[in-house]
Structure 1
C-alpha cells in the first residue's frame, strides 16, 4: 500500500514540478450516469484517467475534471466563494468537449465567471493542424438552462512549448515530451 501511494504521488509531483498544465486532458464522454448523493460527496476510486495530474476529481453530475488539487483550494472549488482565476491551474476541462475545445472553454470561463459552469455548452473544431497538432480553431456555443442567455465564442489554440512528464507511475518510468497549449485569440461572436 505504501509503495502504491508513493508511486501515485510521484506522477503528480513530476507533472507539477515540470509545469505541466492539465487543461485539455479530460476524457471526452458522450454519456454520463448521474447519482444523487448526500453531502459530503466523496467516492473512492482507484483510477479514472489523467494519472499524471493526480489527485484528480470529477465534479458530477456536471462532468468537470480537476487535477493537481490541494486541500487549500477545495473550499473555493466546492462553494464557489471566490475568484474563478484561482482555479485556473487546476481545471482539466469539461467531459463534453474535445482537447482543443477544453482549452478554449477554460479561457471563456475566466471571462464569464462562475455562471459559466452551469451553462449548456457544445463545441466544434472549425480547423486544425491534423499532422502536428500545433494549432486549432474552435467554436464554443453556450446557453443558460432557461435560454435567457446564449452566445458563442471562437478561439485559436496554439502550441506554446512543451514539458517532460511521466504518463504512469512506478520506478524508472521514462519522461516524455508533452505539448502545452495556450489560447492566442478569443472573441465572442454571438
Structure 2
C-alpha cells in the first residue's frame, strides 16, 4: 500500500531554500498614503470580514480606490503599553511620502473614538488636517515596527512572526545599552508577501523585511550585521515601484547600510514585456547622482506546495547593465 507523504508545513522555509528573492514580489507602486489602524477582537482571514472592522470603512476605501487613489492599509492589535489608557479609542497611523527624493514618510498619528474614526480617516485622506488636529498625539519621533502575526491568514507569519513579537515584547535584545525608547513594536495583519514570511515593516522609513527570525531581527533593526549577510531579508521600500525595488536592493548590496538612508526617488525609463529600464536618482549631503539598470525577466521559479500554500510559479528577475552617474 502506497504511503501518502505529508506536505511540508511552512511555505516560506521552502521558498527561501530554493532561492525566492523577496524583492521579486511587488510591494506597491508609488502610493499616495499608507493607512494603519487598531482593530480589537478576533481577526478573520480577510481582515475586512472581522466582526469589529469599522462599519462603512471598507466601502469608503473601495470607492476612493476606484477614483484613482493609490494606497495600502492594514490593521494592528492594540499595543498593551501604548494603548492601555485608551481602551475605548482607536489609534490611527497615516503615512504619506513627500515629492522628489525621500528617506522617510511623513506620519500623522491620531487617537479617535469609534464614532469619529471614519470621518477622521476621510479628513486625513482629503488633507483636511485641521479637522483632526485635536486628535493628534505627539509621537512623530517614534519608530514603529509592524510585525505580521496574522495566523488566520498566514501560517508562516502567525507562527514565526508571533515568536518574534514575543521576543521584542520582552525587549530580549543583546544590545550594548538599553533598547531605545523611541522604538515601538506592533502586531499587524497581513501586509502581503505570504511566501516570504515572516515580514515586518519599519516606519517611517518604509522598508520591508522578509524571512525574518527572532535572531536576525535585531541585526536588521540596529544594523549590527554585515549587510551582505542579510541581503536575502531585504524586500524593498514601499515608496519605490516594483522594478526599482529590485535595483534598490542591488545598490544596497554594493553600497551597504548607508545607502538605505540616502534620499532617493525612482522612475521607469522604458518598459517591454521582458525588460524594464529603471533609474534611481539620489541626493545626499555629500553626493548626488543616479543608478540605472535593466531589470529583465530571467525565467520562472516553481515554488512547491506546502500545508499553507498551493504550488505556484513565480517570476524571476535579474539586473543587467548597471550604470552609476555622479552629478
| Shorter-normalised TM range | 0.7 to 0.9
What secondary structure, in the 3-state scheme, does the structure 1 residue paired with 2:225 have?
A: coil
- Verify: 1:31 aligned to 2:33, yes or no: yes
- Verify: 1:10 aligned to 2:146, yes or no: no
Which segment is superposed worse, 86-95 or 35-44? 35-44
Alignment match, 1:188 = 324
Alignment match, 1:53 = 196
Alignment match, 1:104 = 247
What secondary structure, in the 3-state scheme, does the structure 2 residue paired with 1:89 have?
A: helix
Per-residue deviation, residues 89-118 of structure 1 (Å, max 9, x unmatched): 111111111111010111111122211111
Work out whether residues 24 and 93 of structure 1, in 8 Å CA contact, stay in contact via their aligned partners in 2: no
Alignment match, 2:281 = 141
Per-residue deviation, residues 120-177 of structure 1 (Å, max 9, x unmatched): 1111111122x3xx21111100112xx432210111111223212379x865x43121
Inter-CA distance 166–61: structure 2 relative to 1 (3 Å threshold): farther
Alignment of 1:15-164 (within 5 A): 15-25=15-25, 26-28=27-29, 29-32=31-34, 33=95, 34=107, 36=142, 38=181, 40-129=183-272, 131=273, 134-144=274-284, 147-164=285-302
Name structure 2 gaps, 5 residues minimum.
1-8, 35-94, 96-106, 108-139, 144-180
What secondary structure, in the 3-state scheme, does the structure 2 residue paired with 1:142 have?
A: strand
RMSD over aligned CA atoms reads 2.3
Rg larger for: 2
Work out whether residues 24 and 101 of structure 1, in 8 Å CA contact, stay in contact via their aligned partners in 2: no
Give the Å deviation of 1:40: 4.9
- TM-score of the pair, normalised by structure 1: 0.81
Number of residue-to-residue matches in the alignment = 175
Give structure 1 regions of 4+ aligned residues with deviation exceeding 6 angstroms: none
